[in-house]
Amino acid sequence: MNFTLHIWRQKSPTDEGRTTTYDARDISPDMSFLEMLDVVNDELIEKGQEPIAFDSDCREGICGSCCLMINGIPHGPERGVATCQTYMRVFRDGQEIYIEPWRARAFPLLKDLIVDRGAFDRIVQAGGYVSVNTGGAQDGNCLPVAKTDAERAMDAAACIGCGACVAACKNASAMLFTAAKVSHLALLPQGQPERHARVRNMVEQMDREGFGNCTNYFECEAACPKEISVQFIAQLNREYLAACLEGEGEK
């Protein structure tokens, strides 16, 4: 298979970027999208040219680092998969493919297709954890969890923090990401002691990072490689309202 690639190239955050065209020749339909880029980079290196910078790590749809906008769609045309799980057989032979980085103020571009998603890390640091005292761990059997709550918590915890929800949203909102991180702990017994402080701190950090507001277009759910439901955004809103009302009561 042969493809014409239109790839965003930008040497640094301060340089002016541009779209550069490359040919990808003799590509196996069983190659992943990232493997195809590896082939293109090998050819560029052989020619003495600078390779295309892009992020990847596990290449198994777990880490969330392979964040690419492919023909205007985060992670590409297939639903429920990350870029590393997108295979070239889903494209037509001879097709032109446009490859860009995530576009969001909260995700500043570093180089070519790489953006800084540290804003997500700071949201998690603001409260996406459970504090524990030192000592022996409590027996898990002492903390019964209803099956429905356990399943919903696992659904929310499936978020890999790739940022596709932000890239797909016209407002660059991080509501789906934050909702997933808040909800999976709010549904479990271990998350109850810090429940209200957690949601207040994480939402406030999300706002400080400069993400936009949610206007319920549901593009985030459509783009999410783990198909996180927008129902968690409704839960986030309820959690935040309850936390704010508790704060008013304390005053």
- Residue 166 near residue 102, CB atoms below 8 Å: yes
Tell me what pLDDT residue 242 has: 95
Fold of 3-110: Ubiquitin-like (UB roll) (3.10.20)
CA gap 115, 105 in Å, rounded: 10
Predicted confidence band at 167 (pLDDT cuts at 50, 70, 90)? very high
Among 115, 113, 116, 117, smallest CA distance to 41 is for 113
CA gap 116, 118 in Å, rounded: 6
Q: Where along the chain do the CATH 3.10.20.30 domains lie?
A: 3-110
Residue in the structure block whose two tokens are 């704010």: 244
Is CATH 1.10.1060.10 correct for 118-250?
A: yes
Res. 64: pLDDT tops 60: yes
Q: Where along the chain do the CATH 1.10.1060.10 domains lie?
A: 118-250
Lowest average pLDDT, out of 60-64, 78-82, 243-247, goes to 243-247
Q: Does the predicted TM-score (pTM) go above 0.85? A: yes
Percentage of the chain beyond pLDDT 70 is 96
Could you report the per-residue pLDDT of 87-137, keeping only the tens digit for each? 999 999 999 999 999 999 999 999 999 999 999 999 999 999 888 776 676
